[in-house]
Amino acid sequence: MADTQMNTERNSGGQSPLRWLLPLIVVIAVVAIAAVALLNRNTPGDDTPPPEPTPLLAQVVENIRNVETFRLLIEQTGVAYPFGVSLDEGQSVVYATMRRGEGQYQAPNMMYASVNLKIGALPVLAVELFAEGLDQWFKLANQWINYPIAEGFDPGDLIAEDTGFSQAINQLREVAYIGTETLIDGTQSWHISGVAEGQVINDLLFNLLSIEQEVMVDVYIDQATTLPALLVVTLPDTASDSEDNTAWHIEIYDYNTELDFTPPNRSADAGE
């Protein structure tokens, strides 16, 4: 009888530590999960109210008007939008579409651009443009020609008070804050949408277009710089059975970087 009691006590004293260790691990895990959840709920910035769109847009316009240079990448998607252009110094007008263009602006009124024009069944034609104020040049077959291919376009209009980016950003109607979005290049942006006059896209596309109807504008603002990173200008009710509404995606980047183009030698080229 005594031996039996001693064996029972011995067995009780030799129990595996897992019997008390396992509940302790469970308790620690529960406490850790609760702590992480509490920290996440109180992370700074999570409860930050969204910015007021109108003052934000005003700040964006002020900022872009103070930069020295920037680059543009323009891509047209959806139904193609044809426009008239003269490539023979006014002798004739052909209708072309532009699916892609790149450019660089320098304050106060200088710009270089390279655009791809599609004219009928012809191969895509690469045309270089240069403008300083209203003085315009375009390059074909490696020769600069002093002729206003985009009549009335002044690069200064891109950031003037009531035209270009200022009109596209600061004069929007029916403004709505959509939210925060990460762009393809990783830029963290605020997304604001609104309605604008068609002249907005005319100004931004070097005055090559002549759109009069209202357009939808989506503005994506770089949160780090409060400068525009992307504008999407959409022409409503232009979709076809196979393509979306006509839209222009205008990426603005490389603010205040060195120029990477050489202006035409205007005195020499004009004398050729």
Q: What is the pLDDT of residue 141?
A: 78
Instruction: Find tokens 């209203």 and name the residue.
Output: 134
The β-bridge partners of 173 are: 195
* pLDDT for position 3: 54
CA distance 179 to 188: 11
C-beta separation of 61 from 169 below 8 A: yes
Residues 6+ apart with CB under 8 A from 107: 67, 68, 69, 159
CA-CA distance, 108 to 69, in Å (whole number)?
9
pLDDT by position in tens, the chain (length 272): 555 555 554 555 555 555 655 565 655 655 455 554 444 444 444 567 889 999 999 999 999 999 999 999 999 999 999 999 988 888 899 999 999 999 999 999 999 999 999 999 999 999 999 999 999 999 987 889 999 988 889 999 999 888 889 888 988 999 999 999 999 999 999 999 999 999 889 889 888 898 999 999 999 999 999 999 999 999 999 999 999 999 999 999 999 999 988 889 876 565 55
DSSP designation for 156: G
Query: Residue 158 class from Cβ within 10 Å (0-12 exposed, 13-18 middle, 19+ buried)?
Result: buried
Is residue 101 within 8 Å of residue 115, measured between CB atoms? yes
pLDDT for the residue numbered 44: 45
Residue matched to tokens 């002020």: 62
pTM of the model: 0.79
